[in-house]
Amino acid sequence: MNAPTSPTVWATGETVDGRYRVIGELGRGGMGVVHRVRHLAWGIDMAVKSSRPELFRSPGDQELFVREAEAWVSLGLHPNVCACHYVRMIGGVPRVFAEYVDGGSLAEWIGDGRLHAGDPRQALARVLDTAVQAARGLEHAHGRDLVHQDVKPANILLDGTGAAKITDFGLARSKATTAPADLQVTPGASVLVPVGGMTVGYASPEQLAGEPVGRRSDVYSFAVSVLEMFTGGVHWAAGSVAGLALEEYLADPSNPVAAPPEVAHLLRRCLRQRPAHRPPRWRTSRMY
């Protein structure tokens, strides 16, 4: 079949660019759509991220998106990083071709209860194992001077064996440029709305203040994500107050999964308001 009429939406079953058979749609949002495709020559499935064409207000926006996606490509292979194979222009839209991970996102595992399946001991082991793997993926990226800027459970994928892989590296910066200027967060609607390349519910204080961010901003968002893994949901209005939510969680003896004292201490350090007071590196701070 020929390429679809719409530059973004592909129909299940069609062949795109003579190389990819569309298996189905994995998800969509305000920024674009993700498809699962089969690379006919390679014989593997891939996840293809296509941004909405109208988000690119100038050629420079599109160039920035491609450049940031290529930074993800440059991370190479790591067991806890979702591999980005390449970026290709199809239908006038840059498409990011990444590794397909079959187990869904950590956000889905939290939402449907898979993360806490079994008895409390099994659930705790799964939470800690997933957190360690995510930390290793972020350490790999930070070692190559790439800051994620949008660490959250939706950007941590899990395969059928429980292996965790960080995805969407570098795309937060391009989202900050291409996001609609009139995008607003409706009070009470959701604390998880992506705004300017970040997600409010997981953003560090410096991100929310519009200040420059570095590795320690990722450390903060990682800790917020781990907190959600324990609580089973987001119970705070913004990432900047996650430290208070942590103390409320620790004071509640009825929690189905209790954080060990060492983990609680580490989360407190990672959730400090000032970046300079947080652990500077993953290994030297004994984050795993």
152 neighbors 194 (Cβ within 8 angstroms)? no
Q: Give the integer Cα–Cα distance in Å for 82 and 98.
A: 7
Q: How many residues are listed for the chain in this entry?
A: 288
13 neighbors 4 (Cβ within 8 angstroms)? no
Q: Which of 61, 102, 150, 168 is catalytic?
A: 150
Q: Give the integer Cα–Cα distance in Å for 33 and 53.
A: 11
Is position 150 annotated as part of the catalytic site?
Answer: yes
Q: Give the integer Cα–Cα distance in Å for 220 and 174.
A: 21
271 neighbors 127 (Cβ within 8 angstroms)? no
Q: Give the integer Cα–Cα distance in Å for 93 and 16.
A: 13
Q: How many CA atoms lie within 13 A of 71 on its CB side?
A: 19
Alpha helices of the chain — where are they, by DSSP H?
A: 59-73, 106-112, 120-142, 171-178, 205-208, 215-231, 242-250, 261-270
20 neighbors 38 (Cβ within 8 angstroms)? yes
Nearest to 272 by CA among 250, 242, 235: 242
Q: Which residues are catalytic?
A: 150
